[in-house]
Amino acid sequence: MTSRKLFLAAVLMLGLSACRTTTPPNQPLAARPPVARQVAHVTKLHGERLVDHYYWLREKDNPAVLDYLRAEDAYTDSFMKPTKSLQEKIYGEMLARVQEPDDTAPYRDGDWLYYRRTEPGKQYPTYLRKRASTNATEEIVLDMNAMAVGKEFLDVGVTEVSDDGNLLAFSTDETGFREYTLYVKDLRTGALLSEKIPRVDSAAWAADNQTLFYVTEDDAKRAWRVWRHKLGENTDTLVYEEPDALFTVEVDRSHSKRFVYVAIGSKTTDEVRYLRADHPDEPLMILTPREQDHEYSADDGGDLFYIRTNDKGRNFRLVTAPIADPRHENWKEIVPVRDDVSLDDFGVFSHQVALIERANGLPQIRVYDIGTGASHSIEWPESAYAVEAGDNAVFDTNVLRVTYESLTTPHSVYDYDMTTHERKLLKQQVVKGGYDPDRYQTERIFATAADGARIPISLVYRKDLKRATGNPLWLYGYGSYGLPTDVWFSSGRLSLLDRGLIVAIAHVRGGGEYGKRWHDQGRMLTKRNTFTDFIACAEMLVARHYTDPQHMAIEGGSAGGLLVGAVLNMRPHLFKAALLEVPFVDVINTMLDESLPLTVGEFEEWGNPKVAEQFTYMKTYSPYDNIRPQAYPAMLVESSLNDSQVMYWEPAKYVAKLRATKTDSHPLLLKMNLQPSGHNGKSGRYDALRDTAFEYAFILTQLGIEQ
């Protein structure tokens, strides 16, 4: 998110006295939990006075703020010091399961096969390619480890290769703030060209291998302008600018490579513009003008556009339109809206369309034959799983690249022949150390919400675990933006399962497990369903004797941190410990600040507190605003100073207010990464493993497991 305007001069003069301690003086200095000074900041809204005593923590350049954050880190380090040996043990276990070196399954794009390699001791992957022929010489596309020398953080965003395979447009972020700079590399020589374009969000090549379209962000990090760039030229042409702050813009090349698409969308409304990739200087055309609440996306094949649209129902249908005249009256339906199946996405090939659907709360891929109109679904053997379309860069093919995994099946890459229905396993994640999936049991059970909704819960545990009250259990939840929380495999998770933990995922409303209706029932003025669903899941796990409140830990990150924060205010005694990662907990203050990234665009997800009804509803659940004097479980709250999606001050303020308000003596830790890092933490894979070991050690020790 963007930086804030300076607050009151009085706050800036707080200086080093911004922190005080209340711990008895005979404790070690680092062991004294810091307590932030309270300075009243008043916001008047809808006839109410909202008093925020920790508003001053927003001042990133104020030395007192950094002093406070350092004090929190010192306290966290001191508290966690006795767990160092456990952290090292867990880290060693997780690392020992990783296959090194390792290559991803190559995928074809043009005349080349592209893949990535990880090597022992190196934090980042190397992007590689070789010609799609036998005995071809391997070439380096990007060596992230070389690029990261002298840097504490590195993330790669855009990676787009020109049609002739000679040029790579790529972008990097070196701070964690999601501020990417675009470069162009000549893959024949390895040299960088003169291009260096800041604040780029997406990019796509035209067919001439010389024209590059890219999108830049405004001051609130909203992707809003599309530019046309000719290699070697200093002046770029503005192709499109989106004036409505509810909407963001993305540029992409169609699967057939025939068109360049500009997708313009809010949380509820879409518009697609396009031009022919071999005529990059032509103006953009509109496929169909935006209408409020009409969501649609497009791809092309032959003489037709294929359009996924919700014009006839929330679960979407698929239609075609002639490229020569794509007006709405010319649309022809090929896949209708279905009440029990949601069409989430699709991909057009020369002879088939791959339909990405959801049925019974699970993802599925169905293949539609363009010539015959027949369709079939790809079957999978497990009752709960995750399946997605993989790297599919070739248009004229019958082969669909698919990825599959479950709570017990490692990430697997398949090539699926859409004509013969044959499936070929190309690569499955190697788990070293003798991993045997038959040692573990998975279940899919359902809790019943107060309104009768059935909420799925996915579980995994050791088969030799004795089911009885008192089993430690780790419950995860998210439930926002219509994003489904499909199950995933984690070799690191084995360090929990082998210590006797049950790991559970609550598929609460607000996500997309059952399509758009599931999302609708957990956003805006129904958002509280997300939290009560999660509580219903926890209560059912206790009632069914999977665990009890003294042995249950919960976790959520970002919008999932909002979930955990709200649930802890509502039912704190139901849990023993909680992990909140980069939590979105200060809902009202954040949604009042339209200068922040994400704020305006998310008025259609959370609401706008300037609207009285939406403010009143938000106030019933916003975690920061609902902290009250009561006992809370042990808590670890994590954030990054450079996070641009949930600003650091949200978790910092949340911890400060909790520490001053709660009535218990349970641990409350804030781990603030003050070095370059982002919303997803540190960028290096070994660093990420150490962070996971830290989190595991906290939860395990709070649940009474110290080995």
Look up residue 430 and give its amino acid.
Answer: V
The DSSP output letter for 449 is: -
Which residues touch 559 (CB under 8 Å, ≥6 apart)?
A: 478, 479, 480, 481, 584
Identify the pLDDT of residue 574.
Answer: 98
Within 10 angstroms of residue 610's Cβ, the number of other Cβ atoms is 13
Domain extents in the chain: 302-429, 438-702
Nearest C-alpha neighbor of 587 from the set 534, 634, 647: 647
Question: Strand order in 223-230's β-sheet?
Answer: 200-205, 211-217, 223-230, 237-241
Cα 47 to Cα 616: distance, rounded to the nearest angstrom: 12
In the structure encoding, which two tokens stand for residue 33, read together? 């939990």
The DSSP output letter for 513 is: T
Cα 281 to Cα 151: distance, rounded to the nearest angstrom: 39
In the structure encoding, which two tokens stand for residue 263, read together? 């997708």
Which residues touch 381 (CB under 8 Å, ≥6 apart)?
A: none
In the structure encoding, which two tokens stand for residue 439, read together? 């040692």
Catalytic residue numbers, as ranges: 558, 643, 679
Domain spanning 438-702: CATH superfamily:
Alpha/Beta hydrolase fold, catalytic domain (3.40.50.1820)
In the structure encoding, which two tokens stand for residue 209, read together? 């291998």
- The beta-carbon contacts of 361-364 under 8 Å, at least 24 apart in sequence, are 361/456, 361/507, 361/513, 361/514, 362/486, 362/513, 363/387, 363/388, 363/484, 363/486
Identify the pLDDT of residue 133.
Answer: 80
Look up residue 599 and give its amino acid.
Answer: T
In the structure encoding, which two tokens stand for residue 119, read together? 């090597």
> Quick check: 484 and 358 in contact, CB under 8 A?
yes
Q: Report residues of the chain scoring pLDDT below 70.
A: 1-30, 134
- The beta-carbon contacts of 417-423 under 8 Å, at least 24 apart in sequence, are 418/349, 418/351, 418/352, 418/354, 418/367, 418/369, 419/351, 419/352, 421/376, 423/378
Q: What is the CATH number that goes with domain 302-429?
A: 2.130.10.120
Which residues touch 682 (CB under 8 Å, ≥6 apart)?
A: 153, 673, 675, 688, 691
Nearest 5°: phi and psi at 470?
Answer: 115, -5
Model pTM score: 0.94
In the structure encoding, which two tokens stand for residue 473, read together? 């259990």
